[in-house]
């Protein structure tokens, strides 16, 4: 997702990371109890995990996150007017890039005189589950996070 942000920044595409709540709290990154702690975790997202996009932090009660459906790692795309043009209940770089390639050429098409009218599309995309990488991330959170995920999803 960082690479997509860099690649499309020159085409007037913005990209941010919105910090929500700890989906898999563990000994190293426990559940949030204060904004100070939330800012510390958000800093680590940048400094430890290498998120290079601007990181913005939601309120401690997750007001923004909850209004958008509270999924643990979702992606939305907004037009400059605030119009919602894409929403995905999971973040997948291929899906996001596919969408942004389409939207990035809308302003040029309008400038070229095309009269564009919106319509709705539903599509089922597929992501790589990357289980090894996921479990390594859980281990970074702490043994509790690994144990709880295995218990919640024994077949996972």
Of 134-153, binders to other proteins (CB under 8 A) are: 137-138, 141, 144-145, 148-149, 151-152
Rg (CA), the chain: 18
Which one among 1, 7, 95, 135 touches other proteins, defined by CB under 8 A? Answer: 1
The answer to whether 7 contacts other proteins (rule: CB under 8 A) is no
95: contact with other proteins by CB under 8 A: no
| Residue 21 contacts other proteins per CB under 8 A | yes
What's the token pair of residue 6?
């860099």
The Cα–Cα gap between 135 and 128 comes to: 14
Q: Rounded to the nearest whole angstrom, what is the least distance from the CB of residue 116 to other proteins in the complex?
A: 13
As to burial, measured by CB atoms within 10 angstroms (0-12 exposed, 13-18 middle, 19+ buried), residue 42 is: buried
Distance CA 28, CA 138 (A): 10
Instruction: Identify whether the C-beta of residue 113 lies closer than 8 Å to the C-beta of residue 121.
Output: no
Is residue 133 within the footprint of other proteins (CB under 8 A)?
no
**What is the C-alpha to C-alpha distance for residues 15 and 12, in angstroms, rounded to an integer?**
10
CB of 126 to other proteins, least distance (A): 17
Minimum distance, C-beta of residue 33 to other proteins, in the bound complex (Å): 7
Work out whether 118 is an interface residue with other proteins (CB under 8 A).
yes
Q: Binding other proteins by CB under 8 A: which of 79, 98, 114, 117? A: 79
């Amino acid at each position: 997702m960082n690479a997509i942000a860099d690649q499309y920044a020159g085409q007037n595409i913005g990209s941010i990371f919105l910090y929500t709540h700890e989906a898999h709290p563990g000994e190293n990154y426990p559940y949030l109890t204060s904004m100070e702690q939330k800012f510390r975790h958000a800093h680590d997202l940048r400094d430890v995990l290498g998120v290079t996009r601007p990181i913005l932090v939601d309120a401690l009660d997750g007001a923004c996150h909850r209004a958008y459906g509270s999924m643990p790692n979702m992606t939305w795309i907004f037009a400059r007017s605030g119009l919602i043009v894409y929403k995905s209940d999971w973040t997948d770089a291929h899906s996001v890039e596919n969408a942004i390639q389409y939207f990035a050429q809308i302003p040029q098409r309008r400038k070229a005189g095309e009269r564009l009218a919106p319509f709705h599309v539903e599509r089922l995309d597929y992501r790589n589950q990357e289980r090894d990488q996921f479990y390594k991330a859980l281990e970074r959170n702490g043994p509790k996070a690994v144990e709880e995920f295995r218990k919640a999803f024994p077949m996972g």
